[in-house]
Amino acid sequence: MKNAPIRCPEVAWGTTLAEFVMTETTATDQQRQAARALACLDLTSLNLDDTPERIDALCDRALSPAPGIDVHPAAVCIYPRFVARARARLQGSGIAVAAVANFPLGSAPVDEVIVEVEGAIADGVDEIDVVFPFRAYLAGDHLAAGELVRQVSEVCHSGSHPKMLKVILETGVLHEAETIKAAAAVAIANGADFLKTSTGKLEPAATPEAASALLDVIGAAQRSGQRIGLKVAGGVKTVADAAVHLDLAVRCLDDAHPGNFRFGASGLLDDIVRVLGSASDTQLSADY
């Protein structure tokens, strides 16, 4: 990413996705947006009743989203207990395996979270999505919140094969823009590689204003030489929804690609496939 000053667009608090979309798009534009969204997608299944068979199906869909579509998601995102199974199924595909930790409440003791993360790493995980202790942070325990991120970061970044660490801030609960920015700064200071909006389990989840607040913090980190990504998760269900966040990311980061931007979603893939249809122009994915 470049080190030039970033000027993110102002997004009024309470703005809806529909209100933020200001320009019409052509069918080709939509296909490009869909292809880019797919390349940046963490295809997700985080249901309490997930089964090995459901995770197999998730991985198979990541490997082959639909006939005629050769673009693949960046990762699958699952519970730690399924990491070994997903790793074996996706071996050699280039699709990463991400696992959640401290999920979804962000309230587990640090030692339990570390055991969870270490187990996922032992099973072959590539990326960890850990929930920031957002309620503790709101209660004023900022040091404890940062300490959890720091310890998870040490585990993820040690050894010869560091793992990407995404920190889930639960922006809908943090609510105020300044609170979101302050919590995001704590996460970055303690080793986050990505800031992630939400678990997808609480409302509101991802919103343009929350993404804009996080991008402001990411921009400040970028100007100091750090490379921090953004993952938008929760409530992004259509290519039109995704296009709003892609536009924000491109305008604030100069570009949006799997190395600095992700979507966390399950249903989004259905609309991506609908938009792409049976198009064979897979070069659309190379538009970044």
Q: Supply the residues annotated as catalytic.
A: 129, 196, 231
Provide the residue type at 284 as one letter.
L
Region label for 140, one of left (φ > 0), alpha (ψ between -120 and 50) or beta (otherwise): left
Please enumerate in sequence order all residues whose Cβ is within 8 A of that of 207, keeping only pairs 6 or more positions apart, or say none.
Answer: 15, 17, 171, 172, 197, 235
Please enumerate in sequence order all residues whose Cβ is within 8 A of that of 76, keeping only pairs 6 or more positions apart, or say none.
Answer: 42, 43, 44, 45, 55, 58, 59, 62, 86, 90, 95, 96, 97, 98
The CA distance from 112 to 94, in Å, is 30
235 and 206 Cβ atoms separated by less than 8 Å: yes
Q: Nearest 5°: CA angle at 99, between 55 and 106?
A: 125
124 and 87 Cβ atoms separated by less than 8 Å: yes
Among the listed residues 54, 99, 105, 52, the one whose alpha carbon sits nearest the alpha carbon of residue 77:
99
Partnered with residue 264 across adjacent β-strands are 42, 233
The CA distance from 232 to 234, in Å, is 7
275 and 243 Cβ atoms separated by less than 8 Å: no
